[in-house]
Amino acid sequence: MINKEAKLSKKIFQKDIEMIPTRQGYGEGLVAVGEKDERVVVLCADVTESTRSILFKERFPERFIEVGVAEQALATIAAGMANYGKIPFISSYAAFSPGRNWEQIRTTIALNDVPVKIAGAHAGISVGPDGATHQMLEDMALMRAMPNMTVIAPCDSLEAKKATVAAAKTEHPVYIRFAREKSPVFTTEDTPFKIGRAEVLWGPSTISGRHGDPLVAIVACGPLVYEALLAAKELEKKGIDVLVLNSHTLKPLDEQAIIRAAKTTGAVVTVEEHQITGGLGGAVAETLARNYPTPMEFVGMPDHFGESGAPDELLEKYGMKSKSIVEAVKRVIVKKEKNG
């Protein structure tokens, strides 16, 4: 059953569900924070329209800076502005920021712990025809290893807007990743969002350990949370109850929610549009290895670069659609049963 407390869209499984890219929520979030705080400035690296930074530029042109194709300068200029009291958001494709300017982010932003907010757009395999060079699948691993850095992967455009607004209020660096393609808007304005807190979207309203609890916990982030929900519905038809946890914040990870889910179910599947190594799956595995070793399966990019193709075809080929999540759940149940 869907957790009523999560307040998901009533059209969650309908064909006419609204489709909006998460980057649109970023642009709307920029305008929202810009209206409330004059310290907010936005810098972009020649992709103003596609990152949706254009919404801020049109509303506050005097607080917008077009840096051009110079991602290293993008990071260092923003760090300087943050040191003088501004709240800079820097926008580019994730392949170039943090892909190209990781060292500048590390040295000028994270090391100095200044409140620059880094927006990595067009992340994941669903960038599609742009091919492997632009399909950033390592960004969350890069940024999760960075001291002082918060890492967020919103599940839909509404959550992306909330994440952008929340990031502006923090006093530390934040990395937020966004997708290029339109994806289902399945949360609502009232769906809870807090940096560092995972939300149960499918399953019991509380993880209490009562009789009848789900067999598997699916921990997902980004737009693939929707694929996890589709898998949960399909598994329900087969008599397999699961819990779906939206772990939008990879760092700081909601470790207590992960541990509770593992104790309740005894098996975990992680789902992400990212390399399996070092991303959400790695973060969850590290937490459980330290606190509550649990059988696991990982859905994500299996140590490959991408290729050109239609987004859905690529997600299907590399095993990130709901069908693959269902199979991962079945595999981890077998592991769980073998462990007794």
Q: Which two tokens stand for residue 281?
A: 């799956």
Q: What is the dihedral of CA 221, 124, 96, 187, to 10 degrees?
A: -40
Counting Cα atoms < 13 Å in the Cβ hemisphere of 88 gives 25
C-alpha–C-alpha distance, residues 293 and 49, integer Å: 45
3-class secondary structure, 192? coil
User: DSSP letters along 58-107, please?
Assistant: HH-GGGEEE--S-HHHHHHHHHHHHHTT-EEEEEEETTTTTTTTHHHIII
Contacts of 295 (CB under 8 A, 6+ apart): 266, 267, 268, 332, 335, 336, 339
Q: Active-site positions?
A: 71
